[in-house]
Amino acid sequence: MLLQTAALDPQETIDVFIAGSGPIGATFAKRCVDAGLRVLMVELGAADSFTSKPMKGENRSVQFAPGQVPIPGYHKKNEIEYQKDIDRFVNVIKGALSTVSIPTSNNHIATLDPAVVSNSTAQPFISLGKNPCQDPFVNLGAEAVTRGVGGMTTHWTCATPEFTTDTERPKLSTDAAEDESIWKDLYAQAKSIIGTSTTQFDHSIRHNLVLKTYEDLYGRTRAFGPLPLACHRLSDPDYVEWHATDRILEELFTDPAKRARFTLLTNHRCTKLVFKHYRPKEENAVEYALVENLLPHTQSPGETAPVQKIKARAYVVACGAVATAQVLANSHIPPDETVIPFPGGTKGSGGGEPNAIIETPLMPMLGKFITEQPMTFCQVVLNSSLMEVVKNPPWPNMDWWKAKVAKHIAEFPNDPIPIPFRDPEPQVTIKFTEEHPWHVQIHRDAFSYGAVAENMDTRVIVDFRFFGYTQPQEANELTFQRHYRDAYDMPQPTFRFEMSADDRARARRMMDDMCNIALKIGGYLPGSEPQFMTPGLALHLAGTTRAGLDANKTVADTRCKVHNFDNLYVGGNNVIETGFAANPTLTSICYAIRASNDIISKLKPRRA
């Protein structure tokens, strides 16, 4: 669906231009529009998931249902079919993910018809992310992106923990007390924006069974607790509404005054930003954003897709860790008429070796120091002894539990499992600590893997996902190929990522810990025994446009303003400069709040 809110005047200068419509871009948009600024947001993908809300006031010219307006970016897991059968959601996630860099395969198919086109060592297939420059041994093979309004929040787990230690949490100030205060305030605001809670599974039997069993087993030696989640219980307490980007964008669609200041263009590619000049280490600015409509509806046959030069007072690139760096890398290729001075002569904007990497002299740390999370996974079937605990919970204040079990047994006396059919899943975590430096999720959720066979009852299945961290290393990088293109005709991303010796040893300890914890409550489900997952599968790539206090090792400052640019900001997991194990979305929202405040302080006073 092509979605446009307020009309766009090509001659109008926008206050804030935003590339990307995920939760980070949406946070920038909400805060800037709330402050009275005019915002244009472009999204490469479509708006393919909606909820509806009443329009405020009498202006109801755009209706989704009587008296309602559509809000894009809704979590697809909220559909009733997935609330009832979470394993069916696995295919939705798979369909939403596009793998970033696929090494070409030169495997010879001896039985292929000799008259047909075939792959070869000399000329491998290169379309749709197939990348001849990608070394499979240093690839993040499962790293993927989601294109569309809401980004990955249309299918994410909604896990929103804080970074809790100095290892994970970046520094926003050199003063420790001030840094602590800044983060405390930002996390409180971020939780409010996305709607984080730790109480929505308090009346789940399975949740309490897992949590309290572990608390009894480990006492105070490990910090088991409810996983912070962006969701809320519905009037039917067996179901929840999972929060996504629609929650952040809501008032920009339902409030007529705010709607008039906000334009969202879908199926539009931010191809590049054009800079005032291309001289490194000099103060610079973005002149305009080059935006292309990929699905024009009024296009004549043979006519090229319309391209617009969008001028704004501030520019935000927040389209994911890969695409944000991709847009900035592409921006380093100047317009054809530009001539750049180089020592010993000049050169224009094109050329280079056949497999040349795009040079980024204006942002030398672009794509450097990237991090991802090593990940271990298993599923267990609960011990049969725990079914007796379900029937007779030993913990106080469990009358609600006993009543639900008694009702289920009375209604379904032939069911061998005493857990009610619609009992919510467990959502348990163990916090990252310096002694156990990994983030733990003990739950039953949908990912692009781990679906349970139909002959198993998912009420007795528990998933274990342990997420480690990797130390930032400059050699770990994301680069972009000048002469290979991705499916959207942008420079092809290429990874070079290797874990350090410490990273590898820590990952082994994490696996040992997962196995020890998992076997305390059950036995492994055949096919889901403990395993390391393909690098990148956590989908928490970070550091591609890192922000921080040291200008020599970052792309942007702690307010996410790109060094030497007075009107360019970045947002997303890509700004996080530390290695981390916990889910990063809440922390990235914190950065977006801080950056938005900087934009507002610069632009708002000048609006007369």
At residue 196, the 3 state secondary structure works out as strand
Q: One of 332, 540, 563, 573 is an active-site residue; which one?
A: 540
Q: Which two tokens stand for residue 206?
A: 């399975």
What is d(CA 219, CA 449) in angstroms, rounded to the nearest whole number? 32
Calculate the alpha carbon distances from 584 to 125, 213, 469 in Å.
35, 28, 12
Q: One of 293, 330, 573, 583 is an active-site residue; which one?
A: 583
Calculate the alpha carbon distances from 553 to 173, 326, 496 in Å.
16, 19, 18
Where residue 36 falls (left for φ over 0; alpha for ψ -120 to 50; beta otherwise) is left
Closest among 267, 368, 288, 281 to 335, alpha carbons compared: 288
Contact between 97 and 144 under an 8 Å Cβ cutoff? The reply is yes
What is d(CA 477, CA 497) in angstroms, rounded to the nearest whole number? 6
Write down how long the chain is. 608
Calculate the alpha carbon distances from 246 to 50, 54, 221, 407, 601 in Å.
8, 14, 39, 37, 26
What is d(CA 528, CA 435) in angstroms, rounded to the nearest whole number? 27
Beta strands at 268-275 and 286-293: parallel, antiparallel or unpaired: antiparallel
- Number of neighbouring beta carbons within 10 Å of residue 375: 25
Beta strands at 39-42 and 262-265: parallel, antiparallel or unpaired: parallel
Beta strands at 312-317 and 14-19: parallel, antiparallel or unpaired: parallel
540 given a catalytic annotation: yes
Contact between 584 and 540 under an 8 Å Cβ cutoff? The reply is yes
Buried b (16+ CB within 10 A) or exposed e, 328-338: bbbbbbbeeee
Helix (H) or strand (E) holding 503: helix 501-518
What is d(CA 69, CA 301) in angstroms, rounded to the nearest whole number? 34
Closest among 316, 323, 9 to 148, alpha carbons compared: 323
Cβ neighbours of residue 546 under 8 Å, at least 6 residues apart?
Answer: 365, 368, 369, 472, 553, 554, 555, 556, 574, 575, 576, 577
Contact between 582 and 432 under an 8 Å Cβ cutoff? The reply is yes
Sign for the CA dihedral angle at 560, 563, 569, 572 comes to: negative
- Active-site amino acid positions: 540, 583
